[in-house]
Structure 1
Amino acid sequence: MTDTADIRFLLTIQQNGSLIAASRKLGLTASAVTQRLQQIEKKLGSRLVERTARKLTFTEEGMLLCLRGAELIEQLDTLLEDLRIHHGGLVGTLKVNAPLGFGRRYLAPVIADFQQENPDVDVALTLSDQPLTEAADRFDVVVHIGELRASNLVGHTIAPNARFVCASPAFVKRFGNPEQPDDLAGLPCIVLRENQEDVSLWHFSKGKTGRSVRVTSKLSCNDGDVIRRWACEGRGVILRSEWDVADDIRQGRLVRLLPGWKAPDAHVIALTHNRSGLPRRTRNFMQYLQARFKPLPPWRV
């Protein structure tokens, strides 16, 4: 290969999963993508991709080229960015993935301000109800709330965030105030479907004592704002992040239940790739994001 264009071309095919999807991304016809791929294979003397009508599979040589090539591209882009920074501000594209509700309320304003302060940086924000199930290599930063399963990404703490059991005052008046976590099993509850978790099994602790309760839910949704509104309307009990319900508790629209019992924290973290190889724009954005939530996050002010 004489330049990085061929490597970037192959990485686009890998990231999009098919020649047709890659052609849309590149703005080319499918036949043009196929022809270019054949030219690269001829140049290297190796078959890189096995193509059938239904499936596209990279060969061992193709996978090696993409793996090592991605590392080289990242190093080259970082080098070029550092050189350009010496003559001005941050440049390039920053791709961020975040949960729907938190992204709308708290992350979108931060990103807009960051971009305004760094006009040569293009920021692409993607909101998802399951950010961890997205292809992590498509994003520079993935914002996550809660416990992190095994991952090869690097975690950066953004803000503390507790989780509260809540219901409306009208609901408490009708059903009573639960005294123990086990009491929740007999109450109508509302659950949030996210990250393929067991969302109806709620865990609590008081000192060294732990309790887990399986709640009954007739209402569920993958959008936290919906279940919060349902709870405010008196339709059931929710277990929800502090960032989402703190204002409703202050305004009296929701009442915190079981204050003596603690649900597992769900701190806000940001995930990136290897810490040492981050482009300058990503490192600066992480610092900017952390600074915006200090000394206290807005839900605790």
Structure 2
Amino acid sequence: MHDITDLRFFVTITESGSLAEAARRLDVTPSAVSQRLRHLEARLGMALAHRSTRRFVLTEEGLLFRDGVAAVLGDLDRLVENLRERSGEVAGTLNIGGSLGFGRRYLAPAIADFHARHPQLKVALTLSDALTATEAGRFDMIVHIGSLADSSMVAYPVAPNNRFICAAPAYLERRPAPRDPKELAVHDCIVLRENNEDVTLWRFHQRRQEVAVRVPAILSSNDGDVVKQWALAGKGLFVRSEWDVADLLATGQLVRVLPEWSLPNADVVALASARGAMSRRATLFLAFLQARFQPAPPWRLDLPKKGRGQGPGARG
């Protein structure tokens, strides 16, 4: 009979991808992880993984053991949660993933308020602009902006979010604002590299008319704050989510360009695995987020009427 901590230990190292990452998550040394894995293999009488200093690959027996252990632990966790639910307690650990900018500005404060309601709950928040489909399985939920790259995830609506083309007044003094999307081809443009998208191809629609424009990227970055700083400095036009620029538009630090044209929306959604139902703590957190951001998210509540009435924007 194996200790439950050994089973959770094995699941952790299989999710980590390397012994070094597993050691970081477990807050022990890599040698301690390696030694514990050897002891587990000795008790089982079989090799579970081929490992090197940088990574390890599960053997066929290791894959079977991992899948069986994950199923057992899942059943056990659901049993414990059902028992806690009967007493009205919300406990356990809620693993949430999110993007850096939105996560810092809106998701982290929401989690703090949710935790205040459920102090017995532990919440682990991981912020990254490069979460992969492979990593998604270790989260109860990922708060995501924009279209789905991985169709195996189920999307639950959290908040409406458009994207706008913006520029600083300093840039528009130097270069008159375009009146048609095709004029963007001769403007200085700043682009955000993300999600392996074709970031220099900007798509617009107006009623039944659709236009795609290849813009010249004089500056590009994978960091949204950097892109916004360049735009505020008057370096060029850029596309950014309304959650990130609504306050700057309201104060006049940025000006919306081509407001009559729309770009693809990038609503805020909560992604969860399609395998099985969400835990009660995840379901409660989703309901909390939806109540907090719907029907009008905070980036729309405090805008003057003219700021809200300039038509839909786009995504990012």
Partner SS for 2:205 = strand
CA change 1:199–1:54 in 2 (3 A) is: same
The within-5 A match list for 1:51-90 is 51-52=51-52, 55-90=55-90
Any conservation in 2 of the 1:154–1:275 contact (CA below 8 Å)? no
- Tell me the residue number matched to 1:239: 239
Any conservation in 1 of the 2:133–2:150 contact (CA below 8 Å)? no
AA partner of residue 253 (structure 1)? Q
**TM norm structure 1:** 0.91
- Tell me the residue number matched to 2:229: 229
Partner SS for 1:183 = helix
Partner SS for 1:283 = helix
Q: Does 1:277 align with 2:290?
A: no
AA partner of residue 218 (structure 2)? K
CA change 1:162–1:278 in 2 (3 A) is: same
AA partner of residue 244 (structure 2)? D
Aligned length: 301
Q: Does 1:262 align with 2:262?
A: yes
Partner SS for 2:82 = helix
AA partner of residue 184 (structure 1)? L
Partner SS for 1:176 = coil
CA change 1:290–1:219 in 2 (3 A) is: same
CA distance in 1 between counterparts of 2:227 and 2:150 reads 28
Greater shift in the superposed pair: 17-26 or 190-199: 17-26
CA change 1:262–1:77 in 2 (3 A) is: same
Q: Once superposed, what is the RMSD of the aligned Cα atoms? A: 2.2
The answer for unaligned runs of 5 or more in structure 2 is 302-316
The answer for unaligned runs of 5 or more in structure 1 is none
CA distance in 2 between counterparts of 1:52 and 1:106 reads 40
- Tell me the residue number matched to 1:290: 290
- Tell me the residue number matched to 1:209: 209
CA change 1:117–1:205 in 2 (3 A) is: same
Any conservation in 2 of the 1:131–1:142 contact (CA below 8 Å)? no
CA distance in 1 between counterparts of 2:215 and 2:26 reads 48
- Tell me the residue number matched to 2:11: 11
AA partner of residue 286 (structure 1)? L
- Tell me the residue number matched to 2:146: 146
Any conservation in 2 of the 1:163–1:241 contact (CA below 8 Å)? yes
CA distance in 1 between counterparts of 2:29 and 2:261 reads 60
CA distance in 1 between counterparts of 2:233 and 2:37 reads 57
- Tell me the residue number matched to 1:136: 136
- Tell me the residue number matched to 1:176: 176
CA distance in 2 between counterparts of 1:18 and 1:109 reads 32
CA distance in 1 between counterparts of 2:110 and 2:59 reads 42
Partner SS for 2:199 = coil
CA distance in 1 between counterparts of 2:17 and 2:201 reads 36
Any conservation in 2 of the 1:131–1:144 contact (CA below 8 Å)? no
Any conservation in 2 of the 1:99–1:143 contact (CA below 8 Å)? yes
- Tell me the residue number matched to 2:126: 126
**TM norm structure 2:** 0.87
Q: Does 1:220 align with 2:220?
A: yes
AA partner of residue 177 (structure 2)? N
Any conservation in 1 of the 2:20–2:54 contact (CA below 8 Å)? no
CA distance in 1 between counterparts of 2:226 and 2:55 reads 39
CA distance in 2 between counterparts of 1:43 and 1:52 reads 21
The within-5 A match list for 1:17-56 is 17-52=17-52, 55-56=55-56
AA partner of residue 220 (structure 1)? S
**Identity of aligned pairs, percent?**
50
